[in-house]
Structure 1
């Protein structure tokens, strides 16, 4: 009926026998990486450590089961591109490990260069080095809750000093401003500052900050202006998303060598279109060739003008690890604001949101502030729909998924193509400030797409919502969840249960983001129908409620483009202030109801998240199987 999804070692993946007499453990799956916030200077004080900011590709390297794999920051498997690095990683004397770092190419002067890395990936991959700066898992132990310096100490111990290409990224404590000045004088990228005692959070949590020597970021290529040479061009036209809309950001005409000019022209020609990709001044775009916004380039520049265009831009290379939809204007915050502990002000904190429980907006805000570190890795950086109840859950509530900037800068927008061909600004957040801004605006529930903003067309999970008919007790749901787990297990999919805080349970199968929505929806629909046919007395896949009597509806519609599901740890706008909560399959045997946890249980939920039974919850290295 189906093939297993266990993944053999493909070409480019490094395999090696276990070292040092240790039995190899399973290969750790990808997890969201921690991101740094851009600030105007380096934070002061001894509570921060400072590292060099590298000019390369962010990579997670997973080691285990006698092999090694490399993942980009968005979860793409790039093992084939970094075979030389992985051959060295597979020889590390560990049972398993998940290492965070940056792949770079160093010049004779010791500086990393993104352009050199691009060239090396094409012709000399053996010249690529990897600077490891964090350790997330070791020998099956999740280290994310340990302080940064403890994680780095363990990292240093597993990296051989004589390693050829995998190196330890050192740091200094304090004196960050002097370090930044010396780096900038030497023509380096900048400084990454990290709180020495902070845990690792797979989002933009505020405990990592970056200060740059040179302004640079990604821009979308929207066209080119012609040259008198037929196979070349004069300049690239650039765009960037701001408030969910792609806008013109100027032109870049330097930084290309001859080979890159010809390569880019060959890539752009098939994407050419007649209609302008963005609104731009006529004088700037005379004779322009517009293209579909599919390519992303890294651009260095001195400043941005009042008109929003780049001054003195220079092309650095294409960014194949980032989708154009995720390219937004990066703004610099003041380091004082970024390091302050002041929360988002919550108006009307005494307003009763849950009348039956007497719980207030202030208490809801306190819950979200507490669980942000464990919720953001799941809810952050994916399109979000909000359930807003400004006057409380018993009054009028409404869904909101679009925004044009009314929430402020902390809540962001990603442009997503709609059926009518127009881009619409969908909400997303990636910081605690963004989450708390939504709460301040009356949000109770957070529902997310089954894909991240880095590539909204590829699902990173399957969600089967087991929704019982009125009158069915939770025992029926419990039994159904285990039956569904066993069916998916037979197909090679590892699953994880989540209490929805409503009536049912979600059975979640994480996916490597490779399959696109039509394939994912078709799989979910056909599986739901097959399960209903195998056990029609218990399950139904019928949409009309009249046909669900006495049975559990397998809601497969969560698995389609634009559909959302409640996020882990989201509160619910239901009686008693319940929350959606991850649990283990062992707990599923005895848990009493899907609304077991409430917003008053923040401390318990935080403690549970670090328990061994929930370490690795929601993470698995697996692909959509055949059905």
Structure 2
């Protein structure tokens, strides 16, 4: 054989790919009945922890629904996943412990995490990326077919979630008779949307959800508790939801007493009937418990509650009252239930753009905007009479927005809670528009844990008179600095004057650390190039320079959300772009409301691949 033919016979070198970054997970809406029709796939509702498993370069990682890296807790699943015959993949599924009858048990999972992790299985029900290709725009049936193909038969720890087409009501009855939790129904033809889109529905056999432990009542027979006092966030306020006194083992009681002791406080955490909480030991609201119950009374307390276990993957701020929606309303085709009044009212006078056109824009962009802006505290810029008239910020609400705009209770500096707004559906966005909203600004953290940042934002704000070329150079300068310390970034044109340079983060670092990092980096850049940059807050010190606004990176601060319209002439739009596009884009207000189709197409293509990595942590500086 010649040298040439010998070389040709060599197997091609396999190109390895890094594990994909975490993506916001798609969530299911609780409904009162299983949807009918053949366009729905129905799966078992598992009783465990939601996980994303990222595989690449012979390694794997496991992330919770809020993006925390729990690879150590699920080491056996991670080890099995790393051996799958793929270059890279991102699987969505549930970590569970199954009994001999095929039933998953949250309590058994809790026990396994403490001492027997090898018995935990991963039930994979979706595939978001494969070998470097984004699959989220494919129909569910195609994603599941690809998922089934990469999961070998007989894999002990990683299993495929089987489904049936149609006959969901019959499946629910059989599951309930078998003592299972319920059914998840999914639109067979739908793309994957990292929010609560209405494309996934859940129907439960028994009522259960998370509650905040706000106190305990003492036992007259021992030093332990008799019952736990429960709270739930309802319309942004933590209220009394009753007590639970069953479902505990003695080991669990002792463990809970140990965990509750350092959380004790003198003042009541919630208002409750005095007779029901006599002798109560009140707690700082820091622990979340999963509770099963038969129903909720007219007073908002639980009937026949039973304790199932602690939820360490959820924070108390994110525990909100979950109510069943009517399946006929939620499962209807994409038409919104929000009525937009005065559609012909002109709200951008210089271009005659109307309220109806603004609503149509947000309806079109909702699937690509919600993974960024959904499920995080937001501030709205409301301009009820149009952008040229009086506009104002709003971050709290007493309930005037209705049920589609939700609330998360967040502790203020003085110790009391305030209800902050958030949305997680297209109808939530449109309700805000109906109420006069033009702009959406969001925290740098999601409601799952408002104390930990999931992004780092540097707002490069030019002084009057500086042209866009100066901003472009500044953006690349920040990209290179952040890359040199290990942070990949992407730029976003803001629709205003400047550029945001954004680094996605695993929600691990808390706000004081994030703010200190951003401040020191901004000041270091300003000191090294004082002719072009400043981190000084007084405007008089910004003349002829670019202000590096690092204050977006602190608790309670907001930044304009990707795809939000700005209350500025011609209705410009904030939009993520690539660094390649940054080389030639003409202005920070390049995109506008009329580009809805292009923006959806861009977000659904590979054009914007490489927007940083959500598995990054804040480096030392």
With the shorter chain as reference, the TM-score category is over 0.9
- Does structure 2 conserve the Cα–Cα contact (< 8 Å) formed by 1:231 and 1:265? no
Distance in 2 of aligned mates of 1:65 and 1:531: 35
Task: Confirm or deny that 1:112 pairs with 2:104.
Answer: yes
Task: Confirm or deny that 1:66 pairs with 2:58.
Answer: yes
1:422 paired residue number? 416
- Note the aligned Cα RMSD (angstroms): 1.0
Where does structure 1 lack aligned partners over 5 or more consecutive residues?
1-19
Pairing partner for 2:515 from 517, 521, 538:
521
Task: Confirm or deny that 1:216 pairs with 2:208.
Answer: yes
- Does structure 1 conserve the Cα–Cα contact (< 8 Å) formed by 2:488 and 2:612? no
1:366 paired residue number? 360
Distance in 1 of aligned mates of 2:609 and 2:210: 34
CA drift at 1:66: 1.8
Q: Secondary structure at the match of 1:292?
A: strand
CA drift at 1:140: 0.8
Distance in 2 of aligned mates of 1:545 and 1:618: 31
User: What TM-score, normalized to structure 2?
Assistant: 0.97
Pairing partner for 2:313 from 297, 321, 330:
321
Matches within 5 A, 1:37-186: 37-186=29-178
CA drift at 1:618: 4.9
Q: Secondary structure at the match of 1:414?
A: strand
Deviation track 1:558-577 (CA, whole Å, cap 9, x = no partner) reads: 01110000000000000010
2:239 paired residue number? 247
CA drift at 1:229: 4.2
Deviation track 1:346-404 (CA, whole Å, cap 9, x = no partner) reads: 01000001000110000000000000000000000000000000000000000000112
2:261 paired residue number? 269
Distance in 1 of aligned mates of 2:188 and 2:18: 30
Distance in 2 of aligned mates of 1:57 and 1:324: 16
Further displaced range: 486-495 or 617-626: 617-626
Q: Secondary structure at the match of 2:420?
A: strand
CA drift at 1:616: 4.5
Task: Confirm or deny that 1:600 pairs with 2:611.
Answer: no
Deviation track 1:523-542 (CA, whole Å, cap 9, x = no partner) reads: 11111110011111111111
Distance in 1 of aligned mates of 2:79 and 2:223: 39
Distance in 2 of aligned mates of 1:435 and 1:625: 35
- Does structure 1 conserve the Cα–Cα contact (< 8 Å) formed by 2:218 and 2:224? yes
Q: Secondary structure at the match of 1:402?
A: coil
Task: Tell me: CA distance 1:618–1:390, structure 2 relative to 1, closer, same or farther (3 Å).
Answer: farther
Distance in 2 of aligned mates of 1:247 and 1:358: 46
Distance in 2 of aligned mates of 1:598 and 1:265: 56
2:4 paired residue number? none
1:187 paired residue number? 179
- Does structure 2 conserve the Cα–Cα contact (< 8 Å) formed by 1:63 and 1:69? yes
Deviation track 1:230-249 (CA, whole Å, cap 9, x = no partner) reads: 44211111000001110000
CA drift at 1:613: 2.7
Task: Confirm or deny that 1:532 pairs with 2:505.
Answer: no
Q: Secondary structure at the match of 2:74?
A: helix
Distance in 1 of aligned mates of 2:198 and 2:398: 24
Q: Secondary structure at the match of 2:152?
A: coil
- Does structure 2 conserve the Cα–Cα contact (< 8 Å) formed by 1:31 and 1:619? no
Q: Secondary structure at the match of 1:79?
A: coil
1:621 paired residue number? 615
Distance in 2 of aligned mates of 1:23 and 1:126: 31
Q: Secondary structure at the match of 2:292?
A: strand
Matches within 5 A, 1:375-390: 375-390=369-384
Task: Confirm or deny that 1:510 pairs with 2:504.
Answer: yes
CA drift at 1:165: 1.0
2:340 paired residue number? 346
Distance in 1 of aligned mates of 2:69 and 2:613: 15
Deviation track 1:211-233 (CA, whole Å, cap 9, x = no partner) reads: 00000000000111111344421
Q: Secondary structure at the match of 2:517?
A: helix
Q: Secondary structure at the match of 1:300?
A: strand
User: What TM-score, normalized to structure 1?
Assistant: 0.96
Distance in 1 of aligned mates of 2:262 and 2:531: 54
Distance in 1 of aligned mates of 2:610 and 2:271: 46
Q: Secondary structure at the match of 1:100?
A: strand
Distance in 2 of aligned mates of 1:171 and 1:348: 45
- Does structure 1 conserve the Cα–Cα contact (< 8 Å) formed by 2:407 and 2:419? yes
Pairing partner for 2:19 from 27, 51, 54:
27
Distance in 2 of aligned mates of 1:594 and 1:269: 53
2:189 paired residue number? 197
Deviation track 1:497-545 (CA, whole Å, cap 9, x = no partner) reads: 0000000100001111111111111111111110011111111111111
Pairing partner for 2:300 from 305, 308, 319:
308
